[in-house]
Structure 1
Amino acid sequence: MNELIKNLGVIVLLIGVIILAVPALTGGISNSILLTGLGVIILGYIGHIVINKRIG
């Protein structure tokens, strides 16, 4: 369980990448999708730093 929590930020970061990749491959890119993907990536990056400082 502790390993899952340590990697939670990276998992969120990868979800953000998937949010950006799927519309890019299908051709349905809009500004809202780009902003959502960017927000999730930034949230995952910051979450990864905060979680690893508290746990590790």
Structure 2
Amino acid sequence: MNELVKNLGVIVLLIGVIILAVPAITGGVTNTILIAGLAIIILGYISHIVINKKVQ
């Protein structure tokens, strides 16, 4: 369980990448999708740093 918590930020970051990749492949890219994907990637990056500081 501890390993899942340590990797939670990376999982959120990968979800953001998928949000950006799927519309890019299908051709339906809008500014809303780009902003949402960027926000989730930044959230995952920050949460990865914060979680790993608290777990260690």
The TM-score bracket by the shorter chain reads over 0.9
TM-score scaled by structure 2?
Answer: 0.99
- For 2:50, the equivalent position in structure 1 comes to 50
Provide structure 1 residue ranges, at least 5 long, that are not aligned to the other structure.
Answer: none
Hey, what does 2:26 align to over in structure 1? 26
Identity of aligned residues (%): 77
Alpha-carbon deviations, 1:24-49, whole Å to 9, x = none? 00000000000000000000000000
Q: What RMSD over aligned residues (CA atoms) do the two structures have, in Å?
A: 0.2
With normalisation by structure 1, the TM-score equals: 0.99
SS in 2 for 1:41: helix
CA distance in 1, matches of 2:21, 2:10: 16
Residues in 1 aligned to 2:38 and 2:54: alpha-carbon distance in whole angstroms: 24
| Aligned pairs, number | 56
The 5 A counterparts of 1:10-21 are 10-21=10-21
Q: Unpaired segments of 5 or more residues in structure 2?
A: none
